[in-house]
Chains A and B, each alone.
Chain A
Amino acid sequence: MTETVHLTINGLTVETTRGATVLDAAGAIGIDIPTLCYDPRCAPNGLCRMCVVEATGARLLQAACVTRAVEGMTITTESPRITRARRTVLEMLAASTDLSETPDALAQIAETGADIARFAGGRERRPPVVADNPMFVRDYAKCILCWRCVQVCAEDAQYAFAINFDGRGFDTQIATFFGKPLPETTCVFCGQCVGVCPSGALKPLRAWELEHPDGPAA
């Protein structure tokens, strides 16, 4: 028998099963909490913090994708504090990476009224396009560091462990062992990373070539 818990979200009482997240519970009653890194196919990590909400008793904002619903919890999904966090994250992200093919981010920018030029002029992440195999192209200038590709390449799906991180902080990138071309790694070209990429950073070679008739990928 599944245990149920009751919580209040924006004044509405929700009954959900024990173990469900606040994001699940809100979704079940039609309250839309924005997310960027979250993908139900991958283990949630609470990276982008777009899904932050206020929970009574918690001093800081909580990421709804990784906060479990507990009995009696009271959640607010919209407040000036929440809006400031979401808008500022989007503004800072827009100044760091190319969001032109991240539809979720573009929609949230429009919704929150984020000013994408607000942090312009600072450092940007613009590594060159990597076209090192006949299957897909890696354009990390569009990467939002959602980790999904690393996760599906590892324990979330394929157990190929071909990619991981390089560097840290603002300079974090997705990388192979000593930057080797993918065909020289344990990559099996399952394509799952391309499938979960939300930002156009990973794209089938054919699609990329159609968009870039004169592009460097060949």
Chain B
Amino acid sequence: MVPPPIRVDANARPGHNTFVMTNPEPRRSQLLPALLAAQAADGWISEAAAGRIAAGLGVPLADVHGVISFYDLLRATPGPEVVHHVCVDPACALAGSAGLRQKLLAAGADVRDSPCPGLCNRAPATLIETRGVLTAAEPDARDHVDGDVRWLTALCGRGRPASLAEYVASGGMRAYERALREPGQQVIDEIRKGGLAGRGGAGFATAAKWEAVAAAQGPAKYVVVNADESEPGTFKDRILLEQDPWRPLEGALLAAYAVGANRVYIYIRAEYPLALARTRGAVDVLRMAGYLGPNAFGSGFSIEIEVRSGAGAYICGEETALIESIEGKRGFPRLKPPFPVTHGLFGAPTVVNNVETLAAAQALLERGAEAYCAYGTLKSPGPKLFCLSGDVARPGLYEMPFGISLGELLERAGGVNGHLQALLVGGAAGALVGPEALGTRLSMEDMRAAGLPLGSGVVMVFNRTRDLGEPIRRIARFFAHESCGKCYPCQLGTQRQTEILERAAAGAAMPGDRQRLLDVGWTMTDASLCGLGQTAASVTLSALKRWPELFPND
């Protein structure tokens, strides 16, 4: 990469961001936006259109083909005018997606199976694709939002999106305006005092990440907001971006200021058209209101936000695959180290944070670490968003203090419909647990001690009438569909795991299949290159232990 031209601000103060970028991003990073635009114009991406884009951006033709064929929602052949994407993942299956699919097919509709589109609380879910473009028609009113704390979700669940004026009136943007008058380090110190940990699944200390990027050397630095929320069962980031994009955006601005980044990318999965539209609109409003630009509030801080759409790839929720995707490449995860904090987007130091993490950072900085720590446990302070779906009375988004038990959370959502058989915690990359886990407290430390993933805050409920084999197979198929194919354990293992589970369900298990599942599962867990492969057998392995009778008996 050619080093970007930089201009040093003569009025720079020590510790502050002093660079103004003048086009640092390579042209190739426009590839995915260009392909999506071509598809929006023509309904698909013809060879001629792909060729023009390749020439225009200076990207090899074969690479363009590689990118088109990687993303599930890019079409290299013309398709039907209207396609119904029916979710085939567990929560929608419980709510009757199979019947919905049949009904659509019987009516002569073109139907495609879709991975979880994050509408588990309104299952069964469909998305409509019209001439290659996904649309959302569902009203916000159907998202049930509740909880004992309403910091992150204060303006969510009201049936309409919040305006900037409402957000500011509720206390928003004060933290950003205040931060601009202080050194960036002060923001990081406050985040550390609040003990904020990442909400994307790994639970990494946010202050440590920001500190590393602040300390890293580089002419440019970036903040990347990971809104590629695709973990089956998860819909928290969708609701935040659809109903109150201001909060995570303010969090991103605070992160950028703290680490000295001048550019924020927010990468939203294509299956969230409403979140994409609302976030784009919010960024435009922020720019007009003076929160963005070369000299935000006359502080000398230069900041821009760019909204990027994914194109159908769960793997792009992995931070390095997401970075590759923004760079205009196939979403292959990178080898780590080096980590994004030193070698991230365009090789520059980069903060990658989940949407909820940034919303929580905003809440923490608005209220101060002390107030923030009044909720939650000592080691997991603050509120956490939980996504409840399945056989529960009031499926929806719940903002609760860390440390409540699984049972208390279920009670808050009105309890189980029927008798509890199992809970899927953490999502497809999580684990299946039985009613004995109801006492487990939902905090980073309690879950770790119980050997359970908190993941993205998914709690999916299965009552005793359900065949647990079904969600296990659906999750296996999900991973086989979403494996990027880079490393062998995952590329091969997700396929073999699915085949073994499916033949068992068909009554055709072979002798030795249980051991095959264990060997495939542990090989993926131990030897895969990235988090996708490392967790692709997590649900199967957890269920093998807890419900051995569900699996072939050698």
- A: residues with CB less than 8 A from B are 36, 45-50, 52, 60-61, 63, 66, 81, 84-85, 87-89, 92-93, 95-96, 118-119, 121-123, 145, 154, 161-172, 175-178, 185-186
**A165 in contact with B492 (CB, 8 Å):** no
Contact in complex: A169, B480 (CB < 8 Å): yes
- B143, CB-defined interface residue at 8 Å: no
A61-B527, A178-B76 are contacts. A92–B493 as well, Cβ < 8 Å?
yes
> Do A122 and B65 have beta carbons less than 8 Å apart?
no
By the criterion CB–CB under 8 Å, are B335 and A186 in contact?
A: no
Contact yes or no, A185 B499, CB < 8 A: no
CA distance A167 to B69 in the complex (A): 5
User: B56-71 vs A: 1/0 string, CB under 8 Å?
Assistant: 0000111111100110
With A47-B486, A95-B496 in contact, do A175 and B65 touch (Cβ < 8 Å)? Answer: yes
B487 adjacent to A46 (CB under 8 Å): yes
Q: Are A85 and B63 in contact (CB under 8 A)?
A: no
Q: Which residues of A contact B51 (CB under 8 A)?
A: 177
Q: A140 to nearest B CB, angstroms?
A: 14
User: Closest chain A residue to B64 by CB distance?
Assistant: A177
- B69 lies within 8 A of A175 (CB): yes
Whether the pair B495, A85 counts as a contact (CB closer than 8 A) is: no
Q: A169-B485, A178-B65 are in contact. List 8 more A-B contacts (CB 8 A).
A: A84-B523, A84-B526, A92-B520, A119-B499, A169-B481, A175-B62, A175-B66, A176-B62
Residues A166 and B65 in contact in the complex (CB < 8 Å), given A89-B489, A96-B492: yes
Contact A177 B62, beta carbon cutoff 8 Å: yes
Q: Are B63 and A49 in contact (CB under 8 A)?
A: no
Write the nearest CB–CB distance from A47 to chain B, whole angstroms.
5
Choose from A46, A60, A172 the contact partner of B491 (Cβ within 8 Å): A172
A170 engages B62 (CB within 8 Å): no
Point out the residues of chain A lying under 8 angstroms from B50, CB to CB: 177-178
CB-defined A-B contacts under 8 Å, sample of 30: A36-B488, A48-B488, A49-B488, A49-B527, A60-B526, A61-B527, A84-B526, A87-B519, A89-B523, A92-B493, A92-B520, A95-B496, A96-B492, A119-B516, A121-B510, A161-B62, A164-B63, A167-B70, A167-B485, A168-B69, A168-B330, A168-B485, A169-B481, A169-B485, A170-B492, A170-B494, A172-B485, A175-B62, A178-B76, A185-B61
In B475-525, the 8 Å CB interface with A consists of 480-489, 491-496, 499, 510, 512, 516, 519-520, 522-523, 525
Residue from the list A48, A85, A93, A95 in contact with B526, Cβ < 8 A = A85
Residues of B within 8 A of A (CB): 47, 50-51, 54, 60-66, 69-70, 76, 313, 330, 335, 480-489, 491-496, 499, 510, 512, 516, 519-520, 522-523, 525-529, 534
B314 to chain A, nearest CB (A): 11
Chain B residues closer than 8 Å to A185, beta-carbon distance: 61-62
Q: Within the complex, what minimum Cβ distance (angstroms) separates A36 from chain B? A: 8
Most chain A CB inside 10 Å of its own CB: which residue of B70, B76, B527 = B527
Give, as a whole number of angstroms, the nearest-CB distance from A75 to chain B.
15
Residues on B with beta carbons closer than 8 Å to the beta carbon of A85? 489, 522-523, 526-527
* Contact between chains at A186 and B60 (CB < 8 Å): yes
In the bound complex, do residue B499 and residue A60 qualify as a contact, i.e. CB atoms below 8 Å apart?
no
Q: Which residues of A contact B47 (CB under 8 A)?
A: 177-178
Closest A residue by C-beta to B76:
A178
Q: What is the CA–CA distance of A175 and B485 in the complex, to the nearest angstrom?
A: 15
Residue from the list B54, B486, B534 in contact with A60, Cβ < 8 A? B534
Are B70 and A165 interface neighbours, CB within 8 A? Answer: yes
The residue in chain B whose Cβ has the minimal distance to the Cβ of A119 is B496
State how many angstroms separate the Cβ of B506 from the closest Cβ of chain A. Answer: 12
On whether the beta carbons of B70 and A45 are closer than 8 Å, the reply is no
Task: Determine if B69 and A49 form an interchain contact, defined as CB atoms under 8 angstroms apart.
Answer: no
Check B484–A168 contact: CB distance below 8 A.
yes
How close is A84's CB to chain B, nearest CB, in angstroms?
A: 6
B499, A122: Cβ atoms under 8 Å?
A: yes
Q: Are A52's CB and B488's CB within 8 A? A: no
Which residues in B have their C-beta under 8 angstroms from that of A154?
60
Point out the residue from A36, A45, A170, A172 that lies within 8 Å of B335, measured CB to CB.
Answer: A45
- B336, chain A: closest CB distance, angstroms: 10
Which residue of chain A is the closest to B523 with respect to CB atoms? A88
CA distance in complex: A94, B148 (Å): 54
CB distance from B519 to the nearest CB of A (A): 5
Shortest C-beta distance, B70 to chain A (Å), equals: 5
* CB-based closest 10 A-B pairs: A161-B60, A164-B66, A177-B61, A172-B485, A92-B492, A164-B62, A169-B483, A88-B523, A170-B495, A85-B527
B330 and A165 within 8 A (CB): yes
B496 engages A122 (CB within 8 Å): yes
Q: In the assembly, what is the distance between CA of A215 and CA of B104, in Å?
A: 47
Considering the complex, give the chain A residue whose CB is closest to the CB of B47. Answer: A178
Q: For B512, list chain A residues within 8 Å (CB).
A: 118
Closest to B67 in A: A164
Q: List, in ascending order, chain B residues with CB within 8 A of A89's CB.
A: 488-489, 492, 523, 527
Q: Which residues of B contact A186 (CB under 8 A)?
A: 60-62
**B489 to chain A: which residues have CB within 8 Å?**
49, 85, 88-89
Q: Which of B66, B313, B484, B488 has the most CB of A within 10 A?
A: B488
Contacting residues, chain A, for B488 (C-beta < 8 A): 36, 47-50, 89, 92-93, 145
A186 to B485 alpha-carbon distance, docked (Å): 25
The CB with the most chain B CB atoms within 10 A, among A89, A164, A166, A169, is that of: A169
Decide yes or no: A84 and B519 within 8 Å by CB, A60-B534, A122-B495, A165-B70 being known contacts.
yes
Given A88-B523, A169-B491, A45:B69 Cβ within 8 A: no
- Across the two chains, which residue of chain B brings its CB closest to A51? B527
B527 and A60 form a contact (CB under 8 A): yes
Question: Closest CB of chain B to A114's CB: distance in Å?
Answer: 11
- CB neighbours of B499 from chain A (8 A): 119, 121-123
Residues in B neighbouring A88, C-beta threshold 8 A: 489, 493, 519-520, 523
In the complex, how many angstroms separate the beta carbon of A190 from the nearest chain B beta carbon?
15
Q: What's the minimum C-beta distance from B417 to chain A, rounded to whole angstroms?
A: 35
| A52 pairs with B526, CB closer than 8 A | yes
CA distance A163 to B61 in the complex (A): 9
Complex Cα–Cα for A52 and B526 (A)? 9
On chain A, the residues within 8 Å of B485 by CB distance are 145, 165, 167-172
Which A residue's beta carbon lies closest to that of B515?
A118
Contact A164 B60 (CB under 8 A): yes
Q: A60-B534, A85-B489, A88-B520 are in contact. Are A169 and B494 (CB under 8 A)?
A: yes
- Shortest Cβ distance from residue A35 to the other chain B in the assembled complex, whole angstroms: 12
Inter-chain contact A165/B523, CB cutoff 8 Å: no
Across the interface, which residues of A come within 8 angstroms of B61, CB to CB?
161, 177, 185-186
Q: Which residues of B have CB within 8 Å of A48?
A: 487-488
- How far, in angstroms, from A118 to B511 measured CA to CA in the complex? 10
* Chain B residues near A167 (CB-CB < 8 A): 69-70, 485
Distance, CA A64 to CA B26, complexed state (A): 32
